[in-house]
Amino acid sequence: MDQQFWDELYGSREQLFSGAVNGVLVTETAELPVGRALDLGCGEGGDALWLAGRGWQVTATDISRTALDRAAATAAEAGLTERVTWTHADLSRTPPPADSFDLVNAHYFPLEVEPGHAALRALLAAVAPGGTLLYVGHDVAGLTADDTHGFDPHAYYKPAEVAALLDDRWTVLVDETRARTTPAPEGTHHTHDTVLRARRRD
């Protein structure tokens, strides 16, 4: 899942995803005060633009330049250019700045499990004291190889695994599986999400 893979995938059609905000983000951030947000694997920008439209200052990162170009064009059309910084980055090589974001949003972000968890720890470190981590994945229970298009879902961190790695500086507020509020992407059979919301203590 390198840059070439994602650029080719986004380039295979005019729009890969719906462009709409993820429902879990809406639900889990409703009570949060506006601040600085990091949107990891932002794709075509649905979550980042929703946050920006509500006053957040957003750094949106993705490994695909094709996705970022589309997202930036949509932001310009919506008049949100000044509220979003679109950043081409691979988290496994370029960690985000530490202690910098009031919200770190990772929806369906394919972060590979690795010994020592360096990239994951960098992601966690980006959350500012008092800030929130929202880490959401597909529930893979019962899925077949056809559902996952040949990828091994167990090669990537799942929210419950992230929760298990949090130390006493964190308070876990949500760690659960819930039914999706919107249809799964075309060609997939994901009916449930796994959701982790945790707050870093001051």
Hey, what domains does the chain have and what are their CATH numbers? 3-12+35-200 (3.40.50.150)
Note whether 112 and 90 are within 8 A (CB).
Answer: no
CA pair distance 62, 84, nearest whole angstrom: 13
| Token output for 183 | 């249809």
Phi, psi of 74 (to 5 degrees): -65, -40
pLDDT of residue 142: 58
Q: What is the pLDDT along the chain (202 residues), one digit of tens a residue?
A: 666 775 676 666 666 565 689 999 999 999 999 999 999 989 889 999 999 999 999 999 998 888 899 999 999 999 999 999 999 988 888 899 999 999 999 998 889 999 999 999 999 999 999 999 999 998 887 555 555 555 677 899 999 999 999 999 999 999 999 987 766 655 556 678 999 999 999 8
Structure-token match 């298990």, residue found: 164
pLDDT at 14: 67
Distances from the Cα of 201 to the Cα of 38, 44, 52, angstroms: 18, 32, 25
Do residues 95 and 117 touch, judged by C-beta distance below 8 A? no
Q: Write down the pLDDT at residue 17.
A: 61
**Burial category of 188 from C-beta neighbours within 10 Å (exposed 0-12, middle 13-18, buried 19 and up):** middle
Q: Which pLDDT does position 91 carry in this prediction? A: 85
CB-CB contact of 167 with 117 (8 Å):
no
Q: What is the pTM of this model?
A: 0.87
Helix and strand element counts for the chain (H, E) = 6, 7
Please report the pLDDT score of residue 53 as a whole number: 96
The rounded distance, in Å, linking the Cα atoms of 58 and 62 is: 13
